[in-house]
Structure 1
Amino acid sequence: MDIRQLSYFLAVVDRGGFNRAASALYVSQPSLSQAVRSLERDLGTDLFHRIGRRAVLTEAGRALIEPAREAVRSLETARASVASVHELREGRLDIAAMPSQAVEPLTTLIRSFAERYPGVTVAVKAAFTARDVVDAVRTGAGELGLLASAGAGPDQEVRAHVLGEQRFVLVVPPEGPFAGRRAVRCEELAGQRLIVGQPGTGMRAYVDSLRDQGVDFSVAAETEHRVALLPLVLAGVGLAVVTESWREIARRTGAVVLDIEPATALCVSLVSRRGVLSPAAAAFWETARSVPADG
């Protein structure tokens, strides 16, 4: 068993098949398949069920994912540690981030980090819920994570640094409801058509809590794609409840952004695995600690 075999195995897992993994790795599909077969022989068990062109993980394959990621990450950390003597002139950092927090504060954090370490590539991986972020960091799919949560922060599986809070705001079209207002009370959303996120997100949990309080609104659209929010609002489909990370972008598109009263906010945290971080991750962590918290 070697790191190359484990990397190929994880590529098949992450890309959903041998052909896509081979393309992503710039190797031939037969070479990749041979490496995975060799790994299976070393382990004495199949890692995938080959069903036509599909590759479905076996129980043994699922059990290997986390230790494989840890092994690959450990080697990357070792290599990066050696490269750190060259002042992080190159490298890569994987960060799992929820959509709204990928707008802010991630944009500001990456900008500050890139100014100090322009040779390091930051790869942002999509994670739709706080649980998704924690799982990505815990399993090694991302070395750092950015999430927002209501109430208590992440559990003991990861280390967390609170960056600040983001309150909920209402985005409406320029000629839409509440024209000329700066704020709206949550109960005034009764009778409105709202654009909501998928279950499990902070945005969805907040609007669901309004319904539990007796605010009777209708759902105009439910979307996992946050990039669709502003076009849907501007097209008059409905109003969107989002975090204030969207405030500036929404205003630039011509939408109107209103504070929702009483103020309700999510806690935004940067999280990492417990243990030694790669030099790039450690540098990003310190960069985040040096950026003033919001709220």
Structure 2
Amino acid sequence: MDIRQLEYFLAIVDHGGFNRAASAMYISQPALSQAVQGLERDLGSALFHRMGRRAVLTEAGTALIEPARAAVRSLQTARASVDAVRELRCGRLDVASMPSQAVEPLTTMISAFGARFPGVSVAIKAAFITRDVVDMVRTGAAELGLLATSGPLPEREVACHLVGRQRFVLVAAADGPFTGRRSVSREELARHRLIVGQRGTGMRAYVDELRERGIAFTIAAETEHRVSLIPLVLSGVGVAVVTDAWRTVAEHAGAHVVDIEPESALDIALVSRRDELSPAAKEFLACALDDTTR
């Protein structure tokens, strides 16, 4: 049994016979008759009494009308739902992102995508290190991922699209040791108390590299919760090395942001699986890359 057979059956019921139904469905009467006969064989019951040119419903045929209409309506609803997703009138897109990149550039990406496709929701999934993002995309937990790396992009496992670079900056309290400064050298971080993120992140790698260069500092706090960085800075616990994505948020919160010289930065990339992307993922990627090239 297939849905087309049920549509033919209902056409005969609604149009009062095989001839009119065949004309309405734009098929030949023999083809229509064969389809109905196939349906009857599948059900094991005759659906019509053939009386010359007339077709009168049997008891089994009458019993089939309601479930047949329900099945056809369900398929029509399913088709409409799929069409709506394909045409991006609705749907959902899962994007895995590291914390700093969820501030920017993901906010701008979602804003641009949402302006074009307001019916599609974007679900942001938390990933704390580059490996997390790659694994979530590779396994299908998310269709796209936004990551930052100071090393080579993981292009062997996923498709990578470079969308920008974010330099490292220092966030300090407004009345802290770097008040009025627009930039500091990395050597000036010596003897200061630093608030750092977890190992495996680009920001932590930068701080660890400073220590390897002989720049001595104290780790005042280590946090996996990136949202706690600015409150810790504002409360005087220490200063924090973050990416430029945090600049606007930190300044609005009342912190002081200065550039670290010489400039060092992370590559920011959108990653996807190498197989076919959904329409939503394709458009999201296109929006992001279009904004990058402007």
TM-score, normalised to structure 1, is 0.71
Q: Which residue of 1 is the match for residue 122 of structure 2?
A: 122
Which stretches of structure 1, 4 residues or longer, exceed 4 Å deviation after superposition?
Answer: 78-81
Q: Which residue of 2 is the match for residue 180 of structure 1?
A: 180
Q: Distance in 2 between matches of 1:145 and 1:193?
A: 33
CA contact (8 A) 2:172 2:255 kept: yes
Q: Which residue of 2 is the match for residue 276 of structure 1?
A: 276
Q: Distance in 1 between matches of 2:141 and 2:111?
A: 22
SS of residue in 2 equivalent to 1:136? helix
Closer, same or farther in 2 for the Cα pair 1:85/1:242, shift >3 Å? closer
Q: Which structure: larger Rg?
A: 2
Please list, as runs of the form range in 1=range in 2, the aligned pairs for 1:187-206 lying within 5 A after superposition: 187-206=187-206
CA contact (8 A) 1:81 1:278 kept: no
1:62-99 deviation digits (Å, cap 9, x = unpaired): xxxxxxxxxxxxxxxx9899325763111000000000
Alignment gaps of 5+ in structure 1 = 1-77
Q: Which residue of 1 is the match for residue 235 of structure 2?
A: 235
Q: CA deviation at 1:197?
A: 0.2
Closer, same or farther in 2 for the Cα pair 1:132/1:85, shift >3 Å? closer
Q: CA deviation at 1:153?
A: 1.0
Please list, as runs of the form range in 1=range in 2, the aligned pairs for 1:14-53 lying within 5 A after superposition: none
Q: CA deviation at 1:293?
A: 5.3
1:178-199 deviation digits (Å, cap 9, x = unpaired): 1111000001000000000001
Closer, same or farther in 2 for the Cα pair 1:81/1:208, shift >3 Å? farther
SS of residue in 1 equivalent to 2:132? helix
Q: CA deviation at 1:156?
A: 1.1
Closer, same or farther in 2 for the Cα pair 1:166/1:81, shift >3 Å? farther
In structure 1, what residue type is equivalent to 2:92?
A: R
**Percent identical across equivalent pairs?**
64
Q: Which residue of 2 is the match for residue 260 of structure 1?
A: 260
Closer, same or farther in 2 for the Cα pair 1:129/1:254, shift >3 Å? same
Q: Which residue of 1 is the match for residue 131 of structure 2?
A: 131
1:217-259 deviation digits (Å, cap 9, x = unpaired): 0001000111101100000001010000000111111100000
Q: Which residue of 2 is the match for residue 152 of structure 1?
A: 152
Q: Which residue of 2 is the match for residue 169 of structure 1?
A: 169
1:85-143 deviation digits (Å, cap 9, x = unpaired): 76311100000000000000000000000000111110000001111100000000100
SS of residue in 2 equivalent to 1:154? coil
In structure 2, what residue type is equivalent to 1:184?
A: V
1:289 and 2:289 are equivalent in the alignment: yes
SS of residue in 1 equivalent to 2:133? helix
Q: Distance in 1 between matches of 2:107 and 2:246?
A: 12
Q: Distance in 2 between matches of 1:221 and 1:145?
A: 28
Q: Which residue of 2 is the match for residue 94 of structure 1?
A: 94
TM-score, normalised to structure 2, is 0.71
Q: Distance in 2 between matches of 1:85 and 1:211?
A: 51
CA contact (8 A) 1:164 1:293 kept: no
Q: Distance in 2 between matches of 1:80 and 1:221?
A: 53
CA contact (8 A) 1:196 1:219 kept: yes
Q: Distance in 1 between matches of 2:115 and 2:250?
A: 26
In structure 2, what residue type is equivalent to 1:280?
A: A
Please list, as runs of the form range in 1=range in 2, the aligned pairs for 1:60-71 lying within 5 A after superposition: none
Q: Distance in 1 between matches of 2:137 and 2:127?
A: 11
Alignment gaps of 5+ in structure 2 = 1-77
Q: Which residue of 1 is the match for residue 52 of structure 2?
A: none
CA contact (8 A) 1:233 1:240 kept: yes
C-alpha RMSD over aligned residues: 1.8
1:214 and 2:218 are equivalent in the alignment: no
